[in-house]
A and B are shown apart, each in its own frame.
Chain A
Amino acid sequence: MKSIAHDARGFVEGVVSHLKKSDKGASVGLKVTSLLYKMSAQAKKKRSALVESAIRLSQEEQVQLAGILESVAGHRVSLDCEIKQELIGGLRVIMGDWVMDASIQSQLSEMAQLLEGGTA
């Protein structure tokens, strides 16, 4: 019981600590590149991508994101932006069967799974 309570308290403190570090410019959560895998041919054929975020993306952010996806797909890609508060922070990009989920929600879920597995 004590260890579990300690785990839970540590979990919250760890997340808050990460957040404080982000204010100082340090890395927040897992690196996006570690979440990515090669985009499939089927995904590259898609002309649009679904972009989910906790806040509304600025025009500049949308242009940057579209540019990145176009450079990989090799053609114009339009973005369908959706606001999802439950993501808390970060992005989730879905293009066909290719998914890049770098939201804080997914990172929290991963940490929760680690704790539930007793490995944390």
Chain B
Amino acid sequence: MEQLGIEPTLLGAQVVNFIVILFVLNKLLYKPILAMIEKRKKEIARGLELTESMKAEEEKFLQKQEKAMEKAREEALKIIEEAKKQAKDVEKDVIVDAHTQAQGIIARAKEEAQDIEKAAQSRIRTEAVSLALIMSRRILSSVMSVKDQHAFIAKQTKELRLWADKQPRT
């Protein structure tokens, strides 16, 4: 051993040193590092799990959102269709009302026009008759002589006598 340049004492001491260092390192460095690495691994695994679960949650949420959007779209379409239908109904009602009102207005206007026409005709007729009456009075007054007057009275007296003869005597 000595021929090889190795001193057993030194080698022994170095071995002891190495063992001591190995022990110390094992105790003070490797174990904490390994524990830290293990802890880190666990944290990463938990993080990955959390990420996975969040992804799943997000997927669920997206699906729910999609469903809700689809439902909302269907509801909106229904509402739009209903509104269109109601608008058509309202339009029909408005047209019917307008038509009815127009008919009423036309009928009233016709009645008023007829009334005005009748009133005008009546007024003209009255005036014409009044004029004719005046003319007749003038003509008769000028044409009837005193002889005609007495003849007329004689005729009336005769008819009055006939009537009186038929009356019960008191």
Task: Point out residues on A near B: beta carbons under 8 Å.
Answer: 1, 4-5, 7-9, 11-12, 15-16, 19, 22-23, 27-28, 31-33, 36, 38-39, 44, 53-55, 57-58, 61, 64-65, 68-69, 71-74, 85, 88-91, 93, 100, 102, 104-105, 108-109, 112, 115-116, 118
Contacts and interface: CB of A to CB of B under 8 A. Distances in A.
Contact of B149 (A8, A12, A38, A55): A55
Contact of B139 (A15, A44, A68): A15
Contact of B150 (A7, A19, A28, A61): A61
B132 to A, nearest CB: 4
Interface of B: 121-122, 124-126, 128-133, 135-137, 139-141, 143-144, 146, 148-157, 159-165, 167, 169-170
A25 to B, nearest CB: 8
A72 B167 contact: yes
A22 B139 CA distance: 15
A45 B156 CA distance: 24
Contacts of A57: 153
Question: Which 6 A-B pairs rank lowest in CB-CB distance, beginning with the nearest?
Answer: A74-B170, A32-B159, A8-B132, A8-B128, A11-B132, A15-B136
B136 A12 contact: yes
Given A22-B152, A32-B163, A74-B170, 7 more contacts: A4-B124, A32-B159, A65-B157, A88-B140, A89-B148, A89-B149, A90-B153
A89 B140 CA distance: 9
B125 A74 contact: no
